[in-house]
Amino acid sequence: MILYWSSIIAGVVSVVGCGYLVCVTLLTDRFSRKASFVRPRSTPGVTILKPLHGLEPGLLENLASFCAQNYPGPVQIILGVQDPSDGAIAVVEQLGAKYRSNHIDLVVDSTMHGLNRKVSNLVNMWRRAEHEIIVVADSDIRVDPDYLSRVVAALDQRGVGAVTCLYHGLAAPAVWARLAALGINAHFLPSVLFGVALGLAHPCFGSTIAFRRKILVEIGGFIGIADCLADDYAIGARLRARGHEIAVLPITVGHVCAEMSMLELWQHEMRWARTIRSIDPVGYTGLIVTHAFPLALIAALAGSFAESIGPTVAIGLTAAAFACRLALLRQVERTFDLRPHSCWLLPFRDLLSFAIFLASVAGRHVKWKGRGYRFRSRDWAGITDGHRSRSNREAVLLEIGPPRLQG
């Protein structure tokens, strides 16, 4: 009886998941039609903050993409590390030698302002910022030459308090990195596009957060989120609580995936998954419908044992789920002009995503930059106008765990 109902439930949810995949495929094509280039009406000075940690694969190319911008206004790039022996410093020196005409500053400061080391780095870098517009972007982000002009143009629109970007995966030459990039392009990016299109998601990603200095001061600066796990989400929540709209650019930037092992990939994606679950547990549970292919396999296997569905139906549902995921992936690749992924990796990626989804439900430990953390969720009240307030959830780091702590 248990196998019978497991087969029926998994099959029904898989059918719903196939419908979801078809809808996202159509929405992705619609999203691409908004990507026309708009020049900014003015070109104020921009300070780009890039917190660094370690010698990441492709780091020089990532940083160089921010130096090679077709933006006519003054641009200051601040690169920050906390360890004087950090391998990223040598890359910064190469960058300075290659782009001598750019205004590039390096900040080496080990001062901690909370348990989030990235935010502590930003606090230390912020003191050197010179310009009106601040752009924060992670070290693994790679952008096109028109990126900064698009960001400033969007920030110049009426009512916009900040700008963020969606991102696609760019894989380093390793199978685990390819699986990581495939997870972004086939799962994460489509789900965000779906949420944005239906008004269910209000993203603010570390790939890009741009705002004016006075806005950052208004929300309490970086220091107020120094213990938050999802620092990008925390910034977005505070901006919206103050009534500021966060515009999502109709383009994506590249997120360079450099995972070299299964463990590294698992820990990285487990941190993402548990962070999202801690912020929005109900919405995260709803993501079960996005796993159509694994659910179809469960329906087929359970149905075979329970004789609740025939083999033709089981094979047909599994094939349909895979075809829908593949069609979505190809649409994403066409829309954002990405190099096609190998089809044979897709079933493994779907099964891995489902395993991470299930495993993330239990536990509040994550690994981040080689350190173990435990976190809890907390609610805080944000004023949206003069009369109303709303509750926001965020994941707060509590302590640093032992080095052997698993994700």
> Could you tell me where the beta strands, DSSP code E, fall in 137-264?
141-142, 160-171, 209-212, 245-257
CA distance 184 to 356: 14
168-203 burial code (b ≥16 CB/10 A, e <16): bbbbbebebbbbbbbbbbbbbbbbbbbebbeeeebb
Alpha helices (H) along 201-243: 213-218, 231-241
pTM of the model: 0.88
- Tens place of pLDDT for every residue, the chain, 407 residues? 677 767 888 889 999 999 999 999 999 877 765 566 677 888 999 999 999 999 998 999 999 999 999 999 999 999 999 999 999 999 999 999 999 989 999 999 999 998 888 999 999 999 999 999 999 999 999 999 999 999 999 999 988 999 999 999 999 888 999 999 999 999 999 999 999 988 888 899 999 999 999 999 999 999 988 888 888 989 999 999 999 999 999 889 999 999 999 999 999 999 889 888 887 888 889 999 999 999 999 988 876 555 655 667 778 899 999 999 999 999 999 999 999 999 999 999 999 999 999 999 887 677 666 666 666 666 655 544 433 334 466 656 544 444 433 33
CA distance 211 to 49: 12
Q: How many residues does the chain have?
A: 407
Amino acid letter, residue 185: N
Every domain of the chain with CATH number 3.90.550.10 lies at 33-261
- Phi, psi angles (nearest 5°) of residue 287: -70, -5
CA distance 48 to 209: 10
Cα distances from 70 to residues 43, 150, 234, in angstroms, run 11, 10, 31
Q: Which two tokens stand for residue 84?
A: 């004087």
Closest CA to 119 of 197, 222, 196, 239: 222
CA distance 241 to 285: 25
CA distance 201 to 212: 23
Cα distances from 393 to residues 229, 275, 278, 377, 378, in angstroms, run 12, 11, 8, 6, 6
Domain 33-261 fold:
Spore Coat Polysaccharide Biosynthesis Protein SpsA; Chain A (3.90.550)
